[in-house]
Amino acid sequence: MGREVGEVIQNAQIEQMIERALVRSGDGLVELTEEICCEAEAGKMGPILNARCIPYIDRAGRNVGTITVLHDITALKRMDQVKSEFVSMVSHEIRSPLNSVLAQMQIILDGLAGEVTARQQEILGRASAKVKSLVSLSSELLDLARIESGLISQEKEHLNLSDVLADQVAFHTAKAQAKKMALTLEPLPKLTPVFADRRNMEEVFSNLISNAISYTPEGGTVTVSAAMESGYLRASVSDNGIGMAPEDLGHIFKRFYRIKTDQTRFIIGTGLGLAIVKSIVEAHNGFIRVESEPNRGSTFHVYIPCPGS
């Protein structure tokens, strides 16, 4: 009581969180969340804390302080690391044999091993599609393990997200046109560059736009937009597709979770795309939220903090 924060907690990251929360008003996004790796002896992994910091607002709307909660998640992170390493090893080991099987099946389908009847073509085609799904699954599991290991932090740069959004809209336009859909990028205001990995930002918005197209019926619309919001760059992907029930919204970012309805049963996917998106966004100290109603579409909002905010 009565001491400076720096005297009690000698951690620059926590002090910076508190300083950022102190200058926030009672409006907009106010909660700051970060994972903090504490220093330890050489060669040893230090404690890992989940830190949450919010301004303390009085009745007049003035920011009179902050509330900071620290949760020791070291054991959970170590368990996650072991699990990720196991998944990565298994995925790596099965991907090569699957690719080999796929190549051999393609040789047969191409008729290079002898004549193939129409019925055999059909059966082999279905089997080949299933093998491709397994290859895709193993690749996404490897991506998820790599992201959760923190390796992407080595490739971050000051990035203009306007270019990434424009490129992704252009790339997915053909897929949208094939379903007679309108995929549009709303006029963007001047956006502050973010400190992010380009390839992973491309993966985030490729996943979101591709999902929006897949889960929107023919003739629908998908809109991409972005704006600055309370120290964050907020990029949104909206559609007027089949939407989601309230009970599904709390689960869609879990691994392998897929919404099972008559409308979705013919949509192919691994259930890992949104888990990868969430992991990438959180690795950039950001967060993602979703708004959705059944048969009225969905909007995914990605928030990436801007340097100096």
pLDDT category, 157, cuts 50, 70, 90? confident
223 compared with 56, residue with greater pLDDT: 223
Q: What is the pLDDT of residue 148?
A: 63
Q: What is the pLDDT of residue 264?
A: 61
Name the token pair of 274: 């949104």
Return the percent helix, strand and coil in the chain, to nearest 5: 45, 20, 35
Task: Say whether pLDDT at 186 is over 80.
Answer: yes
Top-ranked range on mean pLDDT: pick from 93-97, 136-140, 239-243: 239-243
Per-residue pLDDT tens digits for 247-300? 888 888 887 777 666 666 666 666 778 888 898 898 888 999 999 888 888 999
Q: What is the pLDDT of residue 303?
A: 95
Among residues 167, 157, 229, 237, which one has the least CA distance to residue 198? 157
CA dihedral 136, 278, 146, 95 (to 10 degrees): -10
**Mean pLDDT for the stretch of residues 196-211:** 89
Q: What is the pLDDT of residue 55?
A: 85
**Mean pLDDT for the stretch of residues 74-101:** 76
Query: Is residue 182 within 8 Å of 239, Cβ to Cβ?
Result: no
Q: What is the pLDDT of residue 44?
A: 66
CA pair distance 264, 271, nearest whole angstrom: 12
| Lookup result for tokens 């120290």 | 231
pLDDT category, 161, cuts 50, 70, 90? very high
Q: What is the pLDDT of residue 262?
A: 64
Task: Say whether pLDDT at 202 is over 80.
Answer: yes
Q: What is the pLDDT of residue 136?
A: 73
**Mean pLDDT for the stretch of residues 112-122:** 87
Task: Say whether pLDDT at 235 is over 90.
Answer: yes
pLDDT category, 82, cuts 50, 70, 90? confident
Name the token pair of 285: 């100290």
| Lookup result for tokens 């009745």 | 59
Task: Say whether pLDDT at 1 is over 70.
Answer: yes
For the ranges 5-14, 164-173, 279-288, which has the lowest average pLDDT?
Answer: 5-14
Domains of the chain, residue spans: 5-72, 79-148, 156-305
Q: What is the pLDDT of residue 163?
A: 93
- Does domain 156-305 match CATH 3.30.565.10? yes
CA pair distance 74, 287, nearest whole angstrom: 21
**Mean pLDDT for the stretch of residues 9-23:** 84
Say what the pTM is. 0.60
Task: Say whether pLDDT at 245 is over 60.
Answer: yes
Q: Give one DSSP letter per residue of 231-289, joined into a string.
A: TEEEEEEEE-SS---HHHHTTTTSTT----STTTTT----S-HHHHHHHHHHHTT-EEE
Q: What is the pLDDT of residue 269?
A: 62
Q: What is the pLDDT of residue 62?
A: 79
C-alpha triplet 43, 48, 53: angle, nearest 5°: 145
**Mean pLDDT for the stretch of residues 208-237:** 92
For the ranges 127-141, 156-170, 241-255, 291-305, which has the lowest average pLDDT?
Answer: 127-141
Q: What is the pLDDT of residue 171?
A: 93
Per-residue pLDDT tens digits for 44-57? 667 888 888 888 88
Strand partners, 302: 235, 288
Which 8-state DSSP code applies to residue 40?
A: -
Name the token pair of 71: 């949760």
> What is the pLDDT of the chain when averaged over all its residues?
83
How far is Cα of residue 157 from the mean position of the Cα atoms in its chain?
A: 18
